[in-house]
Amino acid sequence: MTLYGVELIRLADEEEVASFVADELVAAARAGSSIVLTGGESPGRAYELAAKREPDWSEATLWWGDERAVPPDDERSNYRLADERLIRALAAHPTPIRIRGELGAQAAADEYDRFLEGVRLDLVLLGIGPDGHAASLFPNQPTLDERTRRAIPAEAKLEPFVDRVTMTLPVLCSAPDVLFLVTGKSKAEAVARAFGQPPSPETPSSLIRSAEGRTRVVADAAAAARLSD
């Protein structure tokens, strides 16, 4: 199977994937990078390990690729995941530029769009949903066609069904380093479509590739079962 525009890093299990991603986050934090974090089920362990390996993130800036239209203490919040698993564990904190979902999707997207103006992102960390979505860019939605804004509201197409805010494709592709983190057999089909088939709006993650740098997918054996490198 051909890989379309990505480097596959296949590791044995979820813990190895988390460790690899943690090291990438630590290197970015030490370099004072602008880092885009992701939510979902997979990155929490990587955040924990990264905090243990480097407690000083004072030179880094944290962004979020997407967020639900909820307050930051809501259990569905992507910010809350990073705060509990990473930020609170640090001795010296980064500058977090969070999406203020509590404002509502449209207002929060407008604000984040302004925040992102002129910003250079260094590392974008992304997961993949079982439907192939990334950030809150869902299959065959008009959000995939946005080329002028940096952040937009998005309607959820799977649980939890709550309005979202997401970075747009051009912004996610602007970073020199795009890193997908994927684990578990439930993601194997989506991984095969995202990286083993030509880009398609049916699989939004297949459309996200670094425009001028590298795109990598770090997957455990279960998630990468239908790929060959």
**Res. 20: pLDDT tops 80:** yes
pTM of the predicted structure, to 2 decimals: 0.97
Interval 28-53 mean pLDDT: 96
What are the φ and ψ backbone dihedral angles of 96, each rounded to 5 degrees?
-90, 130
Mean pLDDT in the chain? 96
pLDDT tens track for 111-142: 999 999 999 999 999 999 999 999 999 999 99
**Res. 201: pLDDT tops 90:** yes
- Under the banding of pLDDT at 50, 70 and 90, the label for residue 12 is very high
Edge-to-edge strand order for the sheet containing 214-220?
7-11, 214-220, 177-182, 123-126, 34-37, 61-64, 95-96
Q: 8-121+138-175: which CATH architecture?
A: 3-Layer(aba) Sandwich (3.40)
Kindly provide the residue ranges of all beta strands, DSSP E only, lying in 38-185, ordered along the sequence: 61-64, 66-68, 95-96, 123-126, 151-154, 164-167, 177-182
**Res. 228: pLDDT tops 80:** no
pLDDT tens track for 61-92: 999 999 999 999 999 999 999 999 999 999 99
**Res. 158: pLDDT tops 90:** no
- The DSSP bridge pattern shows strands 164-167 and 66-68 to be antiparallel
CA atoms within 13 A on the CB side of 68: 21
Burial class of residue 13 in the structure, from the number of CB atoms within 10 Å of its CB (0-12 exposed, 13-18 middle, 19+ buried): exposed
**Res. 42: pLDDT tops 90:** no
**Res. 229: pLDDT tops 90:** no
